[in-house]
Amino acid sequence: MNSQLKEFTYEIPVLWSQCDPNGHLNVGNFQVFLHEGRMVALEEAGFSYEKMREENVGPMILRSETDYKAEIRYPEAVIVITSFGELKGSRCKIFQKLIRKSDGKIACESVSDCILFDFSKKRPWKYPDSLLVAFGAK
């Protein structure tokens, strides 16, 4: 199986309120953009927030490693690229990049270990076949 599968792309603007006094995107907001990219990717894969609520499941990050490579300044738009790979049972790796739209420079790269968590059963939830197909794993 490929270690990385289908890529999901999302554009998000940088707001002044997300920046420090020098106009740099606050490091904590890099993480907000990555979180948003994961949720948008799940939505595009057919696993909407409404579906998560119906199933009483949601994504849970077990571990995350982020490499910050370049600053992001206001005003800027950021492209979030997300792909899901290394799917094993209820676990997967999420590969992400934040790219400055103005010049295409990679501002950060992140790899996260994730599960979908069943809040009713208090245990990991197995990825449905429909989601595996949407990720390009089947």
| pLDDT tens, residue by residue, 73-124 | 999 999 999 999 998 888 999 999 999 999 999 999 999 999 999 999 999 9
Look up residue 124 and give its two tokens. 């990991």
Output the pLDDT for position 2.
44
Specify the pLDDT at position 79.
99
The distance of Cα 106 from the centroid of its chain, to the nearest Å, equals 15
Tokens (6 digits) for 22? 């020098």
Quote the CA–CA distance of 29 and 88 in Å, as a whole number.
30
pLDDT in tens, 29-84: 999 999 999 999 999 999 999 999 999 999 999 999 999 999 999 999 999 999 99
Distances (CA, A) of 10 to 6, 37, 90, 109, 113: 13, 6, 25, 15, 20
What is the distance between the alpha carbons of residues 46 and 44, in angstroms, rounded to a whole number? 5
Does the bond joining 75 to the residue before it have cis omega, within 30 degrees of 0? yes
pLDDT class of 129 with cuts at 50, 70, 90: confident
Residue 1's pLDDT band (cuts 50, 70, 90): very low
Structural domains in the chain, sorted by start: 7-131 (3.10.129.10)
Give the per-residue pLDDT at 3.
47
Buried b (16+ CB within 10 A) or exposed e, 104-123: eeebbbbebebbbbbeeeee
Q: Which of 137, 90, 84, 85 has its CA nearest to residue 118?
A: 90
